[in-house]
Amino acid sequence: MGYLLAEIVLYLLGAGVIGFTFGWIVRDSIFKRDKLGNISSEKKLTEKESVSSAVNPLKSNSMDTDEALENVEEIRKPLLFTEVPIEGIDKLSLIKGIGPVLEQTLNDLGIYTFAQIASWDAKEEAWIGTQMAFPKRVTKEEWVKQAKELMNEMKS
């Protein structure tokens, strides 16, 4: 019985020594990593300061990004009505690919007639596509061509 107790005690001491050694190795590697992390974060701060000191003079001379985007959108924006036209509105859902929801979206954008759609060029098609979250849909479904055909049908 004494032999078994001695064996258990030796195993426990061996496990303790192994655990102590493993913990000591892991602790050293963590502290070294923390020291390296502090050095790299200090380096990042100095890099940020140098970049911001170089960019700040440029920011004061340049146009605000939002202003530039608004100018670009105004350039590509097609002819839109602010109110419902006096001569009436066309049923835009007659164009294949325009359902009731897209028709309402187009009306909200100020597009009410086939003539408006028929007058679009590629830039205006792209602008409308981005406003509706379907960038290539206008071109792919040939809304301009369909609008011209529907205008011709209405004239005759």
Whether 84 and 41 map to the same domain: the answer is: no
pLDDT along the chain (156 residues), means of 10: 88 91 81 60 58 56 56 57 77 92 89 89 85 85 93 85
Residue 134, Cβ density class (10 Å: 0-12 exposed, 13-18 middle, ≥19 buried): middle
pLDDT of 1 reads 81
- Provide the domain limits for residue 133: 78-155
Does residue 108 share a domain with residue 139?
yes
What is the model's pLDDT at position 25? 84
71 found inside a domain: no
Instruction: Check residue 94 and give its pLDDT.
Output: 93
Q: How many domains does one find in the chain?
A: 2
In the prediction, which pLDDT does 76 show? 55
Say what the pLDDT of residue 57 is.
56
Does some domain include residue 50?
yes
